[in-house]
Amino acid sequence: MSPFVEKIIPLIIAFFAGVAAKKLKLLSKDDAPVLLSFVLTISLPALTIMAINNVQISPGMLLIPILAMVIVLFMYLISNLANRLLKLPKAMFGSFLVGTMIMNTAYALPFFQAAFGDEGLARASLFDIGNTFMIFTFTYFNAIKYGDNVKTDRIQWSKFLKLPPLWAMLIAFMIKLVGHELSPISLNFLNLIGQPTTPLVMIALGLYFEPRLKRMGTAFLAIFIRMGLGLGIGYALTWILGLEGLTATTVTVCAALPIGFNTLIFANLENMDREFAATMVSFSIIIALFYLPLLIYLFG
């Protein structure tokens, strides 16, 4: 069996373990945010510091978060053009638009770490920073615009600046800049704390998996825009800018990531179409379970 396949199969098993745990009522969908909160605040920052500490920083890497933001803007334009034909109800279009704009970068991290090690994880984390910035600013603004939650009075711009992975990345870059070597105890501690990241993310995705048969054709159009046209845009950007190697792979593959589960959070928070959001997120996750490893294989 291919070493690549051997690394990917455990990720798929972990996803279905989450699905099974929910079916057997060992865990529930409400446990998924707890697992992801642990990843976001504790294990992923540790893993990020380790990854950046172990890689050679190149100028091309600094383009990755910028290109993530550019891709989100393309998704915004394409989805608005699509709605000129679809003429969706306001609440449904809000979920449609937000879904195409939010890339599930948490989904990418385990696959990139399995396929490319610290080099891949560092680049995927940089893409995540650009994507996350857009989620809590421009994308959230559109969720407010198309929702009907009158209690929402302002965009929470400060959320992005409070993200632990962002600060972990800045700390790691500072450590490399000053040439400081982490002690063996520090490295062992960061490795220990960072290890749960991969299984917890995949189990949480399994808990989130909740397909519903609502407006399937429209849902799959949103998935095609996010994952199909996103792939084309990512590939075009790397070709235009002359990016090569793992940086090009990161931008191309991450541009085709599934719809992020922040779509569900925003749909609930701003009273957009919740059932339609659940349909998009769930089916894009199951497609990406096989689509993403294929893209990593082809472009890696």
DSSP code at position 215 = S
Write down the residue that tokens 């997120």 correspond to: 281
Sequence ranges of the domains in the chain: 3-299
What b/e sequence results for 75-87 when a residue is b if at least 16 CB atoms lie within 10 Å of its CB, and e otherwise? bbebbeebeeebe
Q: What is the pTM of this model?
A: 0.80
Q: Where are the beta strands (DSSP E) in the chain?
A: none
Note the pLDDT of residue 155.
56
Average pLDDT over residues 182-187: 87
What's the N-to-C CA distance of the chain in angstroms? 18
CA pair distance 256, 251, nearest whole angstrom: 9
Write down the residue that tokens 């096989």 correspond to: 290
Residue pair 126/69 in contact (Cβ under 8 Å)? The answer is no
Note the pLDDT of residue 154.
58
Fold type of domain 3-299: Na+/H+ antiporter like fold (1.20.1530)
- Closest to 223 measured CA to CA, from 44, 57, 82, 114: 82
> pLDDT digits over 101-122, tens only?
999 887 888 889 888 888 888 8
> pLDDT digits over 269-297, tens only?
788 888 888 889 889 988 988 899 999 98
Residue pair 173/200 in contact (Cβ under 8 Å)? The answer is no
